[in-house]
Amino acid sequence: MTDVHSADQVDRLLRQLSEAFLLELPEQCDRAEQDLLILERSYDQAVFNRLFGLVHSIKGSGGTHGFPVVTSICHQFESVLAEWQLSPSGEPLVVFFGFIDLLRQAAQVLLSGDDISHLKQQLENFRLNSGQQARRVLVVESSRLMRQLCQQVSAAFRLQVDLVDDGLEALRELLNSRYDCLIIGRQLKTLNGAAVVSALREAEGINCHIPVLMISSDKQPLAEHLEPVRLLPRTPALTEALAAELEKLLLLSSKGDSLA
């Protein structure tokens, strides 16, 4: 009885913490809006860093409390913020306010327990309507250096790159946001690369058929149900091998809308 009671207490505490996060989310959105208003007048690196850090914090909390739609919104928000920072101007700020509004909607819907499918659709429509129509690649690697390498190679092909270092977080992202290709390490935190791809294939969601490039120092072949997966050896020649594989995928998709 004691163990059951303790488990109930833990479950109740977790629900309270999740509810507190959702209740505080509109206030965090207000803070983000205030920073955007400052950036609208003139670019300030310190303000940008504060805004980016806030969005990143909300993304992490969304994952901790089991709200993948919040994580997906923030992940996409981070991507456009990073692109905007390279050439700051006032025009894209309208897009940023849209992401904040979507976060406010998410807080309301999740608190009420209503269906969130329309939020996912809004996020996808928002991506398309906001000019984020470049092919998207998700890079999942525990090593910071490997993430940077994959990002540099992908960017050379004008691909929009999102970076994740954790297998479970990657799976959440893949189940909620559309991607054209997955570059993933075989050895990861939480879930290894094979487990992520297996769950992705079984889920039969929006990314279940995307091509996968798996980076591995292990030469053991993967199970057939994970295909199509291209194993890339973790060697000094990885940069050239990854570039060659991405070039092949782009050539194959030259008559279509995606890399899949």
Q: Has residue 225 got a pLDDT over 80? A: no
pLDDT the model gives residue 240 = 92
Place of tokens 């292990």: 218
Tens of pLDDT, residue by residue over 181-224, are 999 998 888 889 989 999 998 887 888 888 999 998 887 777 77
Tens of pLDDT, residue by residue over 98-157, are 899 999 999 999 999 888 778 877 777 776 665 555 678 899 998 888 888 888 888 778
Q: What's the chain's length in residues?
A: 260
* 176-211 core/surface letters (b: 16 or more CB in 10 A; e: else): bbbbbbbbbbbbbeebbbbebbbbbbeeeeebeebb
Give the mean pLDDT of 147-171: 84
pLDDT the model gives residue 204 = 79
Tens of pLDDT, residue by residue over 54-89, are 999 998 888 788 787 888 888 888 878 887 887 776
Q: Cα–Cα distances in Å, from 195 out to 166, 167, 169, 184, 187? A: 12, 8, 12, 11, 10
Q: Between helices 238-252 and 144-155, what is the axis angle to 10°? A: 40
Distance in angstroms (rounded) separating the CA atoms of residues 120 and 172: 13
